[in-house]
Structure 1
Amino acid sequence: MDFGITGKIAIVTGGATGIGHAIAKTFHDEGATVIINGRTQSKLDAACNAIGPRAHGVVADLLTAEGAATLADFAAGFGPVSYLVNNIGVFDVNDFFEVSDDRWIEYFQHNLMTAIRISRIVLKDMLTRNEGSVVFISSEAAIRSIGNMTPYSVTKTAMLGLSRSLAELTRGTDVRVNSYMPGTTATESVQGYFEGLAKELGKTVEAALSDFYRDVQPSNLSQKLIDPAMHGRGVVQLMTNSAMNGVTHRADGGTIRSIFG
């Protein structure tokens, strides 16, 4: 299927690993030029080599306004940005009563402010040009709030509100803003978490995953981790569908018991 993105420019924040890397790879394989950012040039170079010849990385920390400007300027050197994927995020398992104020602020900085800073620049240019598509990578935890991941759940819920609010700014234009909610995915960090959990419990990873789906996500219909490549396809489809604006696309393996999304 031709998504019509050949020769266009896509920014995928945090695209060196995980879901972001899969999204960047899909954009590249469909003909786009892809810009990713990170904090270490060597890691960016390795990721770009894996993605393909039209992938380019820049050291730019979106925890600062200067970093957002660096990323936007670097991408603009290749042409107008047609696609912006806000993918940066952090997560961990924690006890709500033990999470400090500083850690809460870190969550908001990573999971929201990084997206706000780069969107402030890129979305404004899209509206001026009357062309472009933005997606915020949220999580099924935004709807299925998780008690031992409260800061993560709260910030991912806030991301849905941010996405819809920015979509309101696109009324009557050819610019769109949507959000995407992946479920538990076989990224490096998630696999590392289950490997550590299995070691702690004295079980195999397969047994730990089986227990997870039985006890934590019994409503999940696939009962397995999602291949990151599936999210790459899903995000590109969402971002190139002109009929979809201001919506949340759910790709969680059926964990959330809802006929909507």
Structure 2
Amino acid sequence: MQIDLSGKTALITGASAGIGLAIARGLAQAGASVTLCARDAQRLAAAVAALQAEGLQAQGVVADLATATGCQALVAAVPGVDILINNLGIYGTQDFFALTDEDWENFFQTNVMSGLRLSRHYAQGMKAHGWGRIQFISSESAINIPADMVHYGVSKSALQGLSRGLAKVLAGTGVTVNTILPGPTRTEGVQAFFANLAQEQGISVPEMEVRFFRENRPSSLIGRFATPEEVAHLCVYVASPQASATTGAALRVEGGIVESII
């Protein structure tokens, strides 16, 4: 199978590093012209420069998509796209009883409302053109909600409902909507997170990772972190013309952690 996205435009949020940058690179390598969005101007410029140095079509837009104003700024800069990857998300462990209303609101605005606002806008143009791809990058935590990250898991579960509902709204239009469920992935943020945990517990990072899978993700069938590129491979396929019959789905790339055959 050869995926050709020549002539297509794609927007990837939270794209200055990690899974977002890997998806942007994969889409661009397939021929798409990609726009990366992030709120850190310096990191975003470095990511765009890296893609351009590889001969890929890429540009960047700086915006804080956790706010309505930031989403409006992005839409003004990029009025329409063929492919929308709602990758922006935050995470972190916290005791459930210590979570404030402000904590919940921050996670909901960042993880859910950013994608909702952008999808509401860009889906209309896709519908008018009779073709489009919308993806929400969720998590296996949407199904296996961690006790120490209830707020994160709930926000990702919300994406499942949003994606399925929007797929129904766009039924028969040529626009597909899906969620992608990565598992533990070796991004820069996760590496820093585990380095801190290892230091707190007085063990090495490799030991911390082994302990994590043994104690927190024992059902993992691969027993390791996925790479951002492994997640991106699925996203590129789902964004392709070949995936035209895949919509309203929750597609897992989580190493077999979820104990379900469907």
Letter in 1 for 2:59: H
Give CA-to-partner distance per residue, 1:142-187, whole Å, 9 cap, x none. Answer: 0011100000000000110000010011112111100000000000
Give CA-to-partner distance per residue, 1:72-128, whole Å, 9 cap, x none. Answer: 23234xxx5110000011100010000111011001000001111111110111112
1:221 Cα deviation from its structure 2 partner: 0.7
Residue in structure 1 matching 2:65, options 59, 62, 65: 62
Letter in 2 for 1:101: D
* Residue 242 of structure 1 pairs with residue 253 of structure 2: no
Q: Hey, what does 2:94 align to over in structure 1?
A: 94
Question: SS where residue 180 of structure 2 aligns?
Answer: strand
Letter in 2 for 1:254: G
Q: Hey, what does 1:254 align to over in structure 2?
A: 256
Alignment root-mean-square deviation, CA = 1.2
C-alpha contact 2:142 2:156 (8 A) present in aligned 1: yes
Q: Hey, what does 1:48 align to over in structure 2?
A: 48
Report matched runs for 1:41-190 at 5 Å: 41-52=41-52, 53-76=56-79, 80-190=80-190
C-alpha contact 1:130 1:173 (8 A) present in aligned 2: yes
Q: Hey, what does 2:233 align to over in structure 1?
A: 233
Q: Hey, what does 2:3 align to over in structure 1?
A: 3
Q: Tell me the distance in 2 between the aligned counterparts of 1:230 and 1:56.
A: 23
C-alpha contact 1:111 1:156 (8 A) present in aligned 2: yes
C-alpha contact 2:6 2:32 (8 A) present in aligned 1: yes
Q: Hey, what does 2:21 align to over in structure 1?
A: 21
Letter in 2 for 1:62: L
Q: Hey, what does 1:206 align to over in structure 2?
A: 206
Letter in 1 for 2:32: A
Letter in 1 for 2:259: R
Question: SS where residue 134 of structure 2 aligns?
Answer: strand
Question: SS where residue 221 of structure 1 aligns?
Answer: coil
1:257 Cα deviation from its structure 2 partner: 1.2
- Equivalent pairs: percent with the same residue? 39
Question: SS where residue 82 of structure 2 aligns?
Answer: strand
Give CA-to-partner distance per residue, 1:13-36, whole Å, 9 cap, x none. Answer: 111111111100101111111101
1:41 Cα deviation from its structure 2 partner: 2.4
Q: Specify every segment of 5 or more residues in structure 1 that has no aligned partner in the other structure, as ranges.
A: none
Q: Tell me the distance in 1 between the aligned counterparts of 2:103 and 2:247.
A: 33
Q: Hey, what does 2:221 align to over in structure 1?
A: 221
Letter in 1 for 2:68: A
C-alpha contact 1:62 1:117 (8 A) present in aligned 2: no
Q: Tell me the distance in 2 between the aligned counterparts of 1:94 and 1:41.
A: 28
List structure 1 runs of 4+ shifted beyond 3 angstroms.
none
1:38 Cα deviation from its structure 2 partner: 1.6
C-alpha contact 1:69 1:121 (8 A) present in aligned 2: no
Q: Tell me the distance in 1 between the aligned counterparts of 2:67 and 2:210.
A: 40
Q: Tell me the distance in 2 between the aligned counterparts of 1:91 and 1:42.
A: 22
Q: Hey, what does 1:36 align to over in structure 2?
A: 36
C-alpha contact 2:134 2:178 (8 A) present in aligned 1: yes
Number of residue pairs matched? 257
1:65 Cα deviation from its structure 2 partner: 2.7
Q: Specify every segment of 5 or more residues in structure 2 that has no aligned partner in the other structure, as ranges.
A: none
Question: SS where residue 107 of structure 1 aligns?
Answer: helix
C-alpha contact 1:9 1:75 (8 A) present in aligned 2: no
Letter in 2 for 1:133: R
